[in-house]
Amino acid sequence: MAKDNDGINFVTDDETGGFFVYCCTHCNEIGNSKDMHVEGGYDDDSCYCPKCDEPDPEEHDNVAEVWNHQQRKINTKDIKIKRLEAALFRAGKWLTADSDFNLSDLDCEISELLPNTQ
């Protein structure tokens, strides 16, 4: 299985030292080991959960739970994309002379959907 040939960061299951799925026993965060905080080398004592800084998150082997977790992330992003498309459509109507459109509401909505754009 590929490790990181195209910057995709695949998770491996073949004990080749690639990334793995972790689950934090403290906050139940599930994620890719590439996202863990690391001090020094990549041994068990130097890895920390990126959400709560708990040391040594466990390797997670419940495939169904990992799949469902990832699908929830995809669904959440899909909903945000659809809301953003709708907001941009309304902005287009405003730009074409719909005088009842409230631009400040649109600005707030877009800020919610894209929090790093401020």
Based on the fold, state whether residues 44 and 76 are members of the same structural domain: no
* Residue 49 Cα distances to 6, 64, 70, angstroms: 25, 21, 17
Question: Where in the sequence is the domain holding 93, given as residue range(s)?
Answer: 63-118
- Output DSSP code: residue 1: -
Closest CA to 110 of 83, 70, 78, 72: 83
Total structural domains within the chain: 2
Query: pLDDT tens-digit profile of 52-97?
Result: 998 888 888 888 888 888 898 889 889 988 988 888 887 776 666 5
> For the segment 8-39, what is each residue's pLDDT rounded down to a tens digit?
555 655 566 677 888 998 998 888 888 888 88
Q: Tell me, yes or no, whether 37 and 76 share the same domain.
A: no
25 in the same domain as 14 = yes
Report the run of H or E that residue 91 belongs to, with start and end.
Answer: helix 63-95
Whether this prediction's pTM lies above 0.75 is answered by no
